[in-house]
Amino acid sequence: MTLKTGIFIIVLAVAFGGIIYNSRRLLDFLRVGKWTDRFDNIPERLRRTFVIAIGQSKIMRDPVAGPIHVFIFWGFLVLVFAVIESIGEGLFGRFSLSFLGGAYSVITVSQDIFIALVLIGVIGAFWRRLVTKVKRLQSSDEHEKKDAQLILYTISVIVIALLFTNSTRIATGGIYPNEVRPIASWLGSFMCPCNKTLAWYEGFWWVHIVAVLGFMNYLPYSKHLHVITSIPNVYLSDLKRKNYLKPINFEDETLTQYGAKDIEDLSWKQLLDGDTCTHCGRCTSVCPANITGKVLDPRYIIIATQQRMLDKAPYLIAEGAFGFSSWEDAIAGKSEVRGPKSEVENQKRTVTGTLLGVSPRLTLEEVNSKNFIGDYIPQEMLWQCTTCQACMTECPVMIEHVDEIVDLRRNLVMMDASFPPELQSAFSSMENNYSPWAFSPSERADWSHGMGIETMAEYQLTVDSKQLTVKEDMILFWVGCAGSFDARAKKITQAFAELMQIAKINFKILGTEEKCTGDPARRMGNEYLAQTLIKDNIETLNKYNIKKIVTTCPHCFNAIKNEWGDFGGNYDVVHHTDFVAELLAKGDLVITNDLHERVTYHDSCYLGRSNGIYDAPRASLEAIPGLEIVEMERSKSKGLCCGAGGGQMWMEEKEGKRINIERTEEALATDAKTIASACPYCMTMMTDGVKAKHEADNVRVRDIAELVLEAVK
């Protein structure tokens, strides 16, 4: 064994010892969270990982930062082969992967190219941080700034050292079969094939491999831990549609908390989100609350979760207070119980816990004296979220901000009765009137008076008395609370009902039997109330054997489509924009009038980002001759929220600029004389915005159904 090999084996053993220790520490920290199964549907998870993590599809949503990151990320993937060769050389002397034949040529030429691209990416990243000072990348934390720079320097050292390792080796005649390195060969052509160059080769080789191994061990203590965790985090992300909340099982008697009070009430995946956050700030840069000057900062929430985990997890581990007994058992579906399996396990974990707590950031007293909600995450932040999903849409590593925000809200509402006072009347009204609007449930179908619309109860009576069978084509029009009680939204309801009558659709309504879908209560954290309403509604729908539903409200649509299945309510639900577009396409609705106007369409978050419906509303507008359609600066998946979702409709917007004003200004900037929308909440917010901007005489806000009705009538 050469001296080089001997020293390298020691370096490698220390480095791998560190990697194993850190991995174990990371996995144990995560295990203080609750079990959630993210190991199902492997093909879909692999597909998602390939597209989002390897393909960097979300990163590329930013046309400047995207390519910079892609250069560095793909560069690192290609350079993994160089690390294998370096380790091989340390263990066995000169070593290469040239036995791969032609593939080796591809690998080596790619490495050369990616070394250059990584360096361009690093320079770009430095430029954006230090020269153009991109807002979302700025941090007031000096440690974080230094950490980011240290990582960029280390990446530069790794790739430059690799380039010179290759060029000095090639210069001294050490080129391998099938090796193609144009840049390294070109550099090597300036070097002498002498012992001095060989000595430089050894130096560069050591710098490269020590920097790589040091980098791997530094990462777990850096915000760049995402280099290790981001691919797994994407693989383990929630496969449900984005706007889906996991229900609480109120029958589970082992539950000691509803929602999350502290890190041990979050899932291990939510804790992994904290470890994965790249601190890139994409989420915060699109958050409507943050944009309008409120304290809500989704990035901060995720980072604060990791900070609390780092502070508290060592003590929980020392107590053996794990959320599930072992990764192996939990993945195998054998165990979901909190705490260790046996005394022996307990003993083992106490030792591990003590080790992990070698240098705790805070003493146990300090940890216990702090509250997760309040000291780490200000309560105010939690109540400013509109659940618009913009943060989750932008996050390149699939972090699930909204789920955590709602989990924390759930705890505040159901365990502490702590919520903005104005929500009390909405909760009481949902309990008593089955609607957040304080109207009598008996008035729910008043909008339909004189329209000849039958309720399901009336229809069922006819069916029963005449011994008929329910027609196959019958569809239930789910009106929703806004569409039933809000004066402006009622006009949308009537317009859509009229369109269905024109198209001769066989539809009924539930009338006074309909109740709130539970969406506002759920998003406001009142899961118990939400589930009561959901179950009542499902019972009614199932009583009538309802199969197909159409609704004008994206919030009702999202709840019924994505969430009611958890409670036994499975229906084919359509949003009215899809429905109308189809009627137009089939010729069941015929346009007879031109509308000569400039119109801009405001995307509803619950329709667009949450359910991918962007084209149908636009298709209906395009079908109307004379309409000139202009897009706002932020549209489709990048559209800005109107400010009403997540219960904000019933909360006061106390801080910063009003979100609806920000959005209305953007709409007005297009010079459109009509703002089109497809949601009763958006309708309220945009109408108020237009009034506040004193533009009500010049600009009108209309639902897609209303515009189509104007063109059809």
Cβ distance to ligand SF4 smaller for residue 395 or 627: 395
Binder of ligand SF4 out of 298, 436, 511, 518 (CB under 6 A):
298
* 280 binds ligand SF4 per the rule CB under 6 A: yes
* 281 binds ligand SF4 per the rule CB under 6 A: yes
* 397 binds ligand SF4 per the rule CB under 6 A: yes
* CA–CA gap between residue 115 and residue 700 (Å, rounded): 56
* Contact (Cβ atoms closer than 8 angstroms) between residue 516 and residue 526: no
Cβ distance to ligand SF4 smaller for residue 391 or 530: 391
Cβ distance to ligand SF4 smaller for residue 612 or 626: 612
* 387 binds ligand SF4 per the rule CB under 6 A: yes
* 306 binds ligand SF4 per the rule CB under 6 A: no
* Contact (Cβ atoms closer than 8 angstroms) between residue 228 and residue 236: no
> Which of 63, 86, 397, 32 minimizes the C-alpha distance to 224?
397
* 401 binds ligand SF4 per the rule CB under 6 A: yes
* CA–CA gap between residue 475 and residue 414 (Å, rounded): 36
Instruction: Please name the residue that has the structure tokens 């210069």.
Output: 171
CA 3 to chain centre: 51
CB of 246 to ligand SF4, least distance (A): 16
* Contact (Cβ atoms closer than 8 angstroms) between residue 257 and residue 415: yes
* 389 binds ligand SF4 per the rule CB under 6 A: yes
Cβ distance to ligand SF4 smaller for residue 377 or 667: 377
Cβ distance to ligand SF4 smaller for residue 226 or 575: 226
Determine the 3-state secondary structure of 636 from DSSP. helix
Between vectors from CA 383 to CA 378 and to CA 385, what angle results, nearest 5°? 110
Work out whether the CA dihedral 336, 339, 344, 348 comes out positive or negative.
positive
> How many residues of this chain interact with ligand SF4, rule: CB under 6 A?
28
- Segment interacting with ligand SF4, rule: CB under 6 A, options 200-208, 279-287, 536-544, 610-618: 279-287
- Segment interacting with ligand SF4, rule: CB under 6 A, options 96-104, 186-194, 259-267, 296-304: 296-304
CB of 512 to ligand SF4, least distance (A): 34
CB of 296 to ligand SF4, least distance (A): 6
* Contact (Cβ atoms closer than 8 angstroms) between residue 570 and residue 581: no
* 170 binds ligand SF4 per the rule CB under 6 A: no
> Which of 273, 226, 477 minimizes the C-alpha distance to 392?
273
CB of 298 to ligand SF4, least distance (A): 4
CA distance from start to end of the chain: 91
* Contact (Cβ atoms closer than 8 angstroms) between residue 179 and residue 167: no
* Contact (Cβ atoms closer than 8 angstroms) between residue 423 and residue 650: yes
- Classify residue 701 by its DSSP letter: E
* 308 binds ligand SF4 per the rule CB under 6 A: no
Cβ distance to ligand SF4 smaller for residue 386 or 552: 386
Cβ distance to ligand SF4 smaller for residue 382 or 580: 382
Cβ distance to ligand SF4 smaller for residue 289 or 356: 289
CB of 143 to ligand SF4, least distance (A): 17
CB of 279 to ligand SF4, least distance (A): 5
Determine the 3-state secondary structure of 57 from DSSP. coil
* Contact (Cβ atoms closer than 8 angstroms) between residue 232 and residue 272: yes
- Classify residue 220 by its DSSP letter: G
Binder of ligand SF4 out of 167, 278, 292, 517 (CB under 6 A):
278
- Segment interacting with ligand SF4, rule: CB under 6 A, options 79-87, 281-289, 444-452, 532-540: 281-289
Cβ distance to ligand SF4 smaller for residue 294 or 576: 294
Binder of ligand SF4 out of 158, 373, 390, 640 (CB under 6 A):
390
Binder of ligand SF4 out of 122, 148, 289, 367 (CB under 6 A):
289
* CA–CA gap between residue 73 and residue 8 (Å, rounded): 27
Cβ distance to ligand SF4 smaller for residue 209 or 303: 303
Mind spelling out the 3-state secondary structure of 115-141?
Answer: HHHHHHHHHHHHHHHHHCCCHHHCCCC
* 242 binds ligand SF4 per the rule CB under 6 A: no
Cβ distance to ligand SF4 smaller for residue 234 or 711: 234
Tally the residues of the chain. 713
**x-or-dash string of contact with ligand SF4, 333-372, rule CB under 6 A:** ----------------------------------------
Assigned token pair, 580: 């109308």
CB of 380 to ligand SF4, least distance (A): 13
* Contact (Cβ atoms closer than 8 angstroms) between residue 556 and residue 477: no
- How many other C-beta atoms lie within 10 A of the C-beta of residue 200? 19
For residue 601, what are the β-bridge partners? 676
Cβ distance to ligand SF4 smaller for residue 385 or 516: 385
* CA–CA gap between residue 614 and residue 62 (Å, rounded): 20
* 279 binds ligand SF4 per the rule CB under 6 A: yes
* 299 binds ligand SF4 per the rule CB under 6 A: yes
Binder of ligand SF4 out of 53, 187, 377, 395 (CB under 6 A):
395
CB of 5 to ligand SF4, least distance (A): 41
Side chain identity at 279, as an amino acid letter? H
Binder of ligand SF4 out of 59, 137, 302, 534 (CB under 6 A):
302
* CA–CA gap between residue 283 and residue 395 (Å, rounded): 6
Work out whether the CA dihedral 313, 317, 318, 324 comes out positive or negative.
positive
* Per-residue b or e along 266-304, where b marks 16 or more CB atoms closer than 10 Å to that residue's CB: bbbbbbbbbbbbbbbbbbbbbbbbbbbebebbbbbbbbb
Binder of ligand SF4 out of 79, 82, 388, 616 (CB under 6 A):
388
Any residues with CB less than 8 A from the CB of 682 and at least 6 apart, and which? Answer: 602, 604, 642, 644
Ramachandran class of 464: left when φ > 0, alpha when ψ lies in -120 to 50, beta otherwise: alpha
* 288 binds ligand SF4 per the rule CB under 6 A: yes
CB of 651 to ligand SF4, least distance (A): 12
- Of 58-97, binders to ligand SF4 (CB under 6 A) are none
* CA–CA gap between residue 506 and residue 192 (Å, rounded): 87
- Segment interacting with ligand SF4, rule: CB under 6 A, options 182-190, 253-261, 326-334, 385-393: 385-393
Site residues for ligand SF4 per CB under 6 A: 277-283, 286-289, 296, 298-299, 302, 385-391, 394-395, 397, 399, 401-402
